[in-house]
Structure formats: C-alpha cells, structure tokens
Structure 1
Amino acid sequence: MYRICKAAQHLHQFFAPFQKRCGTGSAPGEKAKYPNLNASISQGILAVNGNNGLNVNGIPSQNIAASSSMTLYRAGYIRNNEASKNLLVQMADLSVQEDQNNITLNITQAYLNILMAEENIVALQEILTTTKTQLKQGDQLYKAGSISKLNYLQIQAQVAQDEYNLVAAQNNLRTYIVNLKQILQLPTDYDFQIVKPESITVDENFKTLSEVQNMAQNQRPEVKYGELNIENSKTNLKMAQPSILPTLSLTGSISSNYVYNNGNYFNQLRNNFFLPIGLSLGIPIYNNRIYRIAIEKSKIEIQQANLDLLNTKTVLNQQIEQAYISLQNSVLQYESASRQMDLNKQSYDIVTAQMKLGSIDYVQLQQQRLTYIQSIQNFLQAKYSAVLNEQIYEFYA
C-alpha cells in the first residue's frame, strides 16, 4: 500500500525548529544554583539625631549599594528544581509531537479525499462518454422510428444527469483541495498540486492487535508524557521536602554614601566603603503547616499522575482496538464492493450491447446504469475508507 509520508515529513520540518528550541540550551532551573545580584542608588535629605531630637537639616545625601546571595545547601532543592525544569521542557516537546500526530492524520484524510474525488471524476467521465455514445445511437434509432420520442428524451436526460454528476464531482475535488491547503496554511494564490501515487491498494496483511498495542505503549508521545509527569511529580515532592529543613546561604553586600558639603565626593565614597560578607542559616520553626500541606499535596499529585498514565494507556488501547475493528470491517466492505462493481460493470456492458440491437428497452438500461453508478460510489468509499483506516492503524504503531 502507498504510504502517506510526504506530508508528515514536511510537518516534521515545520515543527523541528520549535522542538530544537525546547530540547537545547540551559534549563530555567539551572539559574537557581547561581548567586543573585541586586543594586540600588538613593538620593535624599540628611536627618541627624541630636540633643534636640531628630533634626532634618535639608542637606542632600546619596547612598550606593549592591547585595548578593547564593544558596549553598538546601537538601537537594536546587538539583531537583533543575531536574524538574528539564522534565517540563521534555513534556512540552512531547505535547508538540502529539499535536503533530493529530495534524498528520488530518492531512492524510484530506489527501485521500482528493485522490478519491479524482478517481471518481475519471469513472464519471467514462460513464458520460458511454451515455453520449448512446445518445448518438438513440438519435439514429429515433430518426429511423425504432424508438419513441419518450425514450429519446430519456436518453438526453441521462446525458444531462451524467454531466451534472461530473460537475458535482469536480466541485467536490476543488473543495477537498481547499481543505488541504487550509490545513497546511498555504496562501490562497498558492499553485497547489498534489503528488499522486502510482497505485493505491488495500493491504490485508496488517499487524496483530496486541503487537500494535505493545508498540504504541512503548513509543507514543502521550504515554511518554504521562511517564515524565510521574517523574516530575516525584521531583516536586523532593523539592517540597527541603522547605522544612534548614537552608545555608552565602551573603554579601557593598555600600557607600556621600553627604553634601562634607568633603570631596569620591573621598567620601572611599572612606564610607562598607563590605560585609557572611553565612546565613535559615531554620523554619513554624509556618502554619504550609510546607507540610505542600508535601502532602505533592504526594497526592504523584498518585494522580499514576492514575492519569493508567487512563492514557487504557484509552490508547481502546482507540487501537476500535481502529483494528474499523480496519477489518472496511477491508471486508472493500472486497464486497469490488466484486459488486465488477459484476455490475459486466451487466451494464451486456445491457448496453443489447440496447444497440434493440432487444431491450430504455428503462432496463437506465436501471442497470443507476445500479452500476451506485456500485462505483460504494467501491470508492469502501476503498478509501479501508486505506484511511489502515493508515490510522499503522500510525499507532
């Protein structure tokens, strides 16, 4: 069977830059292990506390300062925070892949609709050619008095009906092309031509249900997303636990000030220079059980993540089973419709030949013609339904 691959390849190229941005570079959590730095500068009026109390004398003053701190130990919080951010990046990438899969299936269905419409047009053109030939023969028979005017008008109506069916099929083709262009987000004036396969056949030798389910469970992005979600929930628990433990930090600051009319500006900054550096130990004693509650919530999130993954796997298996049943049914319908169309084609050819000899009337010809047209429609629907269902089933693998 012809594999629908070109659209998926172009789609992969479309998503690749975004996936590359998601998967490379430093994660946001890495920054937590580096020191911070803050600076400030203030301008004000000097207030002096003297014998007469606080005295605001209106002398301008200026203060310049910078401070920095760096966490040295927090029971693995920084390491787990970095790991959590990396997991979130991977999960975002898997979400992109899942959307890519859904769009690829939409492209596949739109592409097959175009192929079906084109094949239907070819069949209707052949039928129209046959009916036009019958009209020429009917014109000769009517002039010779071999058929009535009613039968002659019925043949003309038949040609008009076949022309209408052909125009309707061509309109459907244009609609399907527009749908595919819109899915691909192509400009309206873009000259769009699809690549046609040499042949489209239904392959009846497909993988077993259990084989496809096992393959899907091991590689589908929604399953991997659920697995990473569990890992991330466990990491969040490790991040919550240090909140009730001491934190050791390295702190430091630098500052200086200047007072107007109290000496040279730069001399004052140099003389008033202040640089304290030290260690800070933060010990949580009581916080209204906020951190304890956060730890318990993290444990619940782990359980929820496990349930979400189980549900994802269950739904995925159900979808694959439904796709498997749909594929089996569509293959059987395709085989039945193929036999039906072949038999009706033979019957229509025989009736057409008999019509030339005048051994049957127009009503019998019209009945067989309608039966044959309907069998063509049934065959095309069954054929492309089987191809689409096979694509969906294989896509899960």
Structure 2
Amino acid sequence: MNNIFKLFVPILFVVFMVPVHGQEQLFSLDDCISYALENNTMIGRAENDVLSQYSQLEQRKAERGPNLILSANESVSSNNTYDSSTAGWNRETNNNMNVSLSSNIVLYNGAKIRNAILQGKMNVSAAETEVKTEKELLSLDILANYITVLQAKEQMKNTQSQLESTAKELEEATIRREAGVMSPADYLNIKSQHSADKAALVSSQSTLRIALVTLMQTMNMPVSSSFDIMVPNEQSFVKMSMETDPAVVYNVALGIQPGIKTAELDLESAEMDIQLAKVDALPYLSLNGGVQSNYYSGSDLGFNEQLSNQLTPTIGLSLSIPIYQRKEVKNKVKQAFISRDNYRFNLVDTKNDLRKSIEQACTDAQTANSAYLSYKEQYLAEQESFKLAEEMFSQGMLSSVDYLTSKNNLIEAENNLTKAKYEMVLQKEIIEYYMGKAIAF
C-alpha cells in the first residue's frame, strides 16, 4: 500500500503542475489598446523622433560653452649642408614638432543660440504631443474594432438562440405532422426556416471571425484562432446620457486635443525660424585663445626643455560683420515668413477639421441615440406581437407563414436594436474622447 502511495504522489504532482493550454487569456479593451501601443511601428517612430529632438536640443545647449581642441603636427626635413672642414656635403635629417591647445567661445551672435534652444524645446514638445496623437488615434481604431467584435458576438448569440428556438419548433412540428394535425405546407415552412437559421448562424460566425481578425491586425498581433475578447457588463458602457452640443464639445476639445497643440507648437517654431534667419545679418563676435610650443631635433636643447621654454600663449577676439551677402539673408527671411504663413494655415485647417469631426460625431450620436430608442420600442412591440402569434400558432389559429413572418420581424427588430446599441456606444466614446476622457468601458 505504501509503495502504491509513493508511486501515485509523483503522478498527481505532474498532472497538477502541467499548465492548462485550453484556457486562453481574454483580452479586455485596455489589454487590446496596451498590446497595440507596444507593437505599433508608427508610435515607435514617433517616440524615436522625440529622442532625436532631445538630442538636437542638447547639442544646441552645448553650443553656449567653449570648445577645446588639442592638435599636434610633426614634419621631417632633409637637406644637404657643406662641411668646410671635410670639403664635402652632408645630408642632415631633422624633426620638427608643433603642439597646440586652443579654445573658442561665442560672445555675441544676435541671440542665435538662445533662440535655437527655445526652438529646440518647442520641437521636443511638438514631438511629444505627436506621440500622444498617434496613441489616441490608434486607441480609437482599437475601440471601433473592439465594439464591432462585441456587436458580432451578440448577433451570433442571438442567431444561436433563434436556431435553438426553431429547432424546438421543428421537433414539435414533426410530432404534429406525424399526428396529422399539421399540414405538409406548414411543416415545410418550419423546416425551411430552420435551414435559413442554420445558414444565418454560419454567416454570423464568419462575421465574428472577420471582426476578430481585423482587431488582431489593428493590434499588430499575429492571427490566432484562440484569440478572444472579454465581454464587459452592458451596464458599464450602454449609457444614454452624453453631450451632443457641438459648440460645447469643440470648446473643450480645442484646449486639450494634442493635434491642436502640435499645430500651435509648429507655428511657434516657424516664428522662431524668422528670428534665426534675421540673425545671419548681424555681427558675430567670439573669444579665442590657446597655447602652443615647438620642438626641433636640430637644436642642442632637449625635448622637454624646448617645449617648456617655447610656450606661446595667445588670446584674441574675432569679429565678423556681414556687409553684402548677395541677398542670401533677405531671401532666407522671406522664405521663413512664407513657411510661417503656411503653418498658420495648417493650424486653421486643423481647427476646422476638428470642428467638422465634432459636428459630425455629435450628429451621429444624436442619430444613434434616437435610432436606439426607436428600435428598442419596435423590439418590445415585436416581442408582444410574437408572443401572441406563438400562442395562436400553437392552437392552430395562425398559419405557419404568418407565424414565421412575425418571428422574422422580431429577429430583424432584435438585429436592428443590437446595431443601434453599439453604434450609440461608439459615438458616445468618440465624443468622450473629444472631451478628454479616457477610452475605456
């Protein structure tokens, strides 16, 4: 008995330690958005642009300080000299070395470095807001596809319920036909409806699969048959109250949308380009200094002695005053003004595009809300109508054609209600995005 127990314990341990691969992770909306943000190449490039702008800003800041350059030159010379004592020519080879340490710092250049630093900070901020814009646009795409999957899931569930209901009706119809209380025509109508519901289920399953594939591709996730999403509580995302006044939404969005902020920063950077272009017409003053020494192998003095005794320090000012530049600066300034105007137009276009998008979103939200209420009322009416038709059909007081017509009307009303519900959810989330709220259920 003990031996059996000793043998059985390791087996149990192995069985319980083996991971269960059948239970795959269900992705919530936050999971899908997080995965997409981590694997999106456009966001990666936008983040690299931020790093690039930071690097350029550091370089502009470093230009305020002095540089330091160490240089050394060595040359070898060979020449013939006449020796009178031997009455002959001798070739002598000598080394000549020059070592110098120099530095230079800008004293005045028309505030070019200061303006360049300010522009660099603007460029960093613009790059950061561009990253935020890319993330929000991707999150909206994920949201739309996620809602499409939810809608496809509910429609497939409805189709499944319809098929189960029709299957029971077909069983009852078979019994009634065999008992001789149902006409062949009514029986065939029920059977035909059953086949139609089976085809509808296959179609809804295909629609769901396509929606899942689209969501995975938007996430940049390899397509997997085991991928599935979490269905949230309907009460958490189906809310009737929402702001649908375009003016209110636009005024809020104008101050928080990253696309507007990016356009404003681009315009400020273009304004700074004008100042930087004008600087090239101003004087340039720099302070330079250094120290150098020489060594000559033909000298009777040693290496260290020559270097230490021939140290030559220097210090000086360098002034450059542009007098005539063949209209180069004038044209650079003109081009900078043109570029500034184009960025100003871009800001106006960005604001107009935002306003138009909000106006369309508010209109769609109002339409979706009205459609949802209308289809909900229709669905409730069709439910009552079908209950009556079902009761009359079971008592033989209604033909199969009228019964199936009532049932199909109920199915159509249910499908319309489902579509309207998720359209209303999507439009509500879009408006909340414009209002600065997080994309989440």
**What band does the TM-score fall into relative to the shorter chain?**
0.7 to 0.9
- After superposing the two structures, state which structure 1 stretch, 25-34 or 140-149, moved more: 25-34
Q: Match for residue 53 of structure 1?
A: none
Residue 202 of structure 1, CA deviation: 4.2
Q: Tell me the number of residue pairs that the alignment of Structure 1 and Structure 2 aligns.
A: 389
Q: Match for residue 123 of structure 2?
A: 88
Q: Match for residue 37 of structure 1?
A: 68
Once residues 23 and 91 of structure 1 are traced to their aligned partners in structure 2, the CA distance between those partners, rounded to angstroms, is: 9
Residue 337 of structure 1, CA deviation: 1.6
Aligned match for 1:157, one of 192, 198, 212: 192
Residue 347 (1) aligns with residue 385 (2): yes
Residue 58 of structure 1, CA deviation: 6.8
Secondary structure of the 1:244 match is coil
Change (3 A) 1:39 1:311: same
- Preserved CA contact (<8 Å) 2:70 2:102: yes
- Preserved CA contact (<8 Å) 1:333 1:382: yes
Q: Match for residue 248 of structure 1?
A: 285
Once residues 214 and 275 of structure 2 are traced to their aligned partners in structure 1, the CA distance between those partners, rounded to angstroms, is: 49
Q: Match for residue 197 of structure 1?
A: 233
- Preserved CA contact (<8 Å) 2:108 2:285: yes
**AA aligned opposite 2:77:** L
Residue 339 of structure 1, CA deviation: 1.8
State the percentage of identical aligned residues.
26
Superposed, 1:363-378 pairs within 5 Å as 363-378=401-416
Change (3 A) 1:49 1:90: farther
- After superposing the two structures, state which structure 1 stretch, 84-93 or 182-191, moved more: 182-191
**AA aligned opposite 1:226:** A
Once residues 266 and 92 of structure 2 are traced to their aligned partners in structure 1, the CA distance between those partners, rounded to angstroms, is: 63
Q: TM-score, normalised by structure 1?
A: 0.86
Once residues 165 and 57 of structure 1 are traced to their aligned partners in structure 2, the CA distance between those partners, rounded to angstroms, is: 104
Aligned match for 1:100, one of 130, 135, 138: 135
- Preserved CA contact (<8 Å) 1:204 1:331: no
- Preserved CA contact (<8 Å) 2:260 2:350: yes
**AA aligned opposite 2:366:** Q
Change (3 A) 1:295 1:46: farther
Change (3 A) 1:65 1:130: same
Change (3 A) 1:91 1:122: same
Once residues 47 and 296 of structure 1 are traced to their aligned partners in structure 2, the CA distance between those partners, rounded to angstroms, is: 58
Q: Match for residue 209 of structure 1?
A: 246
Residue 303 of structure 1, CA deviation: 2.5
**AA aligned opposite 1:97:** K
Residue 79 of structure 1, CA deviation: 0.7
Superposed, 1:1-397 pairs within 5 Å as 6=30, 10=34, 18=47, 27-46=58-77, 61-188=96-223, 192-199=228-235, 200-259=237-296, 264-397=302-435
Once residues 34 and 117 of structure 2 are traced to their aligned partners in structure 1, the CA distance between those partners, rounded to angstroms, is: 34
- Preserved CA contact (<8 Å) 2:64 2:113: yes
- Preserved CA contact (<8 Å) 2:37 2:135: no
- Preserved CA contact (<8 Å) 2:289 2:315: yes
Residue 365 of structure 1, CA deviation: 2.4
Once residues 141 and 185 of structure 2 are traced to their aligned partners in structure 1, the CA distance between those partners, rounded to angstroms, is: 49
Residue 117 of structure 1, CA deviation: 1.4
Secondary structure of the 2:280 match is helix
Residue 393 of structure 1, CA deviation: 1.9
Residue 49 of structure 1, CA deviation: 12
Change (3 A) 1:283 1:358: same
Q: Which runs of 5+ in 1 are unaligned?
A: 51-55
Deviations 1:144-202 (A, max 9, x none): 12334444333233223212222322232233223223323345568554251342424
Residue 74 of structure 1, CA deviation: 1.2
- Preserved CA contact (<8 Å) 1:137 1:356: no
Larger Cα Rg: Structure 1 or Structure 2?
Answer: 2
Q: CA RMSD in A?
A: 3.3
- Preserved CA contact (<8 Å) 2:379 2:414: yes
Residue 282 of structure 1, CA deviation: 1.1
Change (3 A) 1:88 1:71: same
Deviations 1:197-238 (A, max 9, x none): 342424244252211111111111121122222222222222
Once residues 333 and 36 of structure 1 are traced to their aligned partners in structure 2, the CA distance between those partners, rounded to angstroms, is: 70
- Preserved CA contact (<8 Å) 1:212 1:396: yes
- After superposing the two structures, state which structure 1 stretch, 207-216 or 24-33, moved more: 24-33
**AA aligned opposite 1:388:** L
Once residues 64 and 282 of structure 2 are traced to their aligned partners in structure 1, the CA distance between those partners, rounded to angstroms, is: 18
- Preserved CA contact (<8 Å) 1:22 1:92: no
